Amino acid sequence: MGSSDHHTVLTQLEVGVARDEATTRTIWLWNKTDWASLRRDLHYTPWATLLQGGAESEALALTSHLLALQRRHVPHREYTTRPTDQPWFGYRCRVAARGKVRYLTPLQEEPDSARQEPAQGGMQEDGGNQQVGLKKVGGKPAPETVWPRQPERPLDSLEHRRDVAAVVVFHKAQVQNVPHLAGLRHPLRVSTRSTRTVFSGGDAVEVPRSHGCQHQRNFTGRVSRIWNLFTAVVPHVQEMNTDSIKLMAHKWRQTLPTPLTLIVT
């Protein structure tokens, strides 16, 4: 509860009851119930003597009698839940856990008892475990498994990986129009030269001649030239997603030499 001036705010918090103590639960095995005996006891029950008094006393007497018959004719088991048990950890989990412990305890106490007996007999007879092993395989050493060697894939050069990454980033800026890469967008190039062959693809961009920042000038100049070469060879870049562009850029860059010398066009 908290108050501010004349306003009072009431807050109700529901806190789960902490299970600090172990509780006992009963599991009823209804599939093993003796229904014939239960029906016989219900038939011979003196209901007139049992149900007397008001409605509340009759309901209490009926409930007590039925619970007593249930406990008498329905097999049941009781188990104790620990405070650290999860809500889903029920009776079947408890039985399975006990069976696991019952099975693993002898193995944990004597882990090698089953294997030590023949080994000790072999050592007394032949003088060592190696002789026992040779006898089991017919006196010949076990064949050594030879795994086929996988061919090593040549690693791509650093320049190759940088060029592929540059094409992917430029595709995001130029085609996908990613907002935080707006500074890398370039206008499309219009081919006006007729004296020599130039790339005139619809996705080619203008190559910047200068820029205010040295590293930015190197990046935009090289990437724009690589982009123009890439779009001249790979069509439909407007319809590709990032994964397709990365795959095609990797295959395209493998066809070019390293180091790659770009000519200003």
144: in domain: no
If asked whether residues 248 and 168 sit together in one domain, one would say yes
Q: Mean of the pLDDT values across residues 23-47? A: 87
pLDDT tens-digit map of 230-248: 988 888 888 889 999 999 9
Helix (H, G, I), strand (E, B) or coil at 2: strand
Q: Are residues 179 and 224 in the same domain?
A: yes
Question: Which pLDDT does position 95 carry in this prediction?
Answer: 78
Residue 88 in any domain: the answer is no
Q: Are 43 and 116 members of one domain?
A: no
pLDDT in tens, 71-130: 899 998 887 777 777 766 777 777 788 888 888 887 776 655 555 555 455 445 544 566
Note whether residue 141 is domain-resident.
no
- The reported pTM is 0.38
The answer as to whether 6 is a domain residue is no
10 Å CB burial of residue 243 (0-12, 13-18, 19+) is exposed
**pLDDT above 60 for 8:** no
Provide the pLDDT confidence category of residue 198 given band limits of 50, 70 and 90.
Answer: low
Residues 29 and 116 in one domain: no
Give the domain range for residue 178: 158-254
Query: What is the average pLDDT across 144-157?
Result: 73
Rounded CA-CA distance 198/47 in Å is 108
Q: How far apart are alpha carbons 167 and 180 in whole angstroms? A: 16
Q: How confident is the model at residue 7 (pLDDT cuts 50, 70, 90)?
A: low
Q: What total number of domains does the chain contain? A: 3
> Do the domain assignments include residue 145?
no
pLDDT at residue 2 above 60?
Answer: no
Distance from C-alpha of 64 to C-alpha of 70, rounded to nearest angstrom:
10
pLDDT over 70, % of the chain: 63
If one compares 134 and 237, the residue with the highest pLDDT of the two is 237
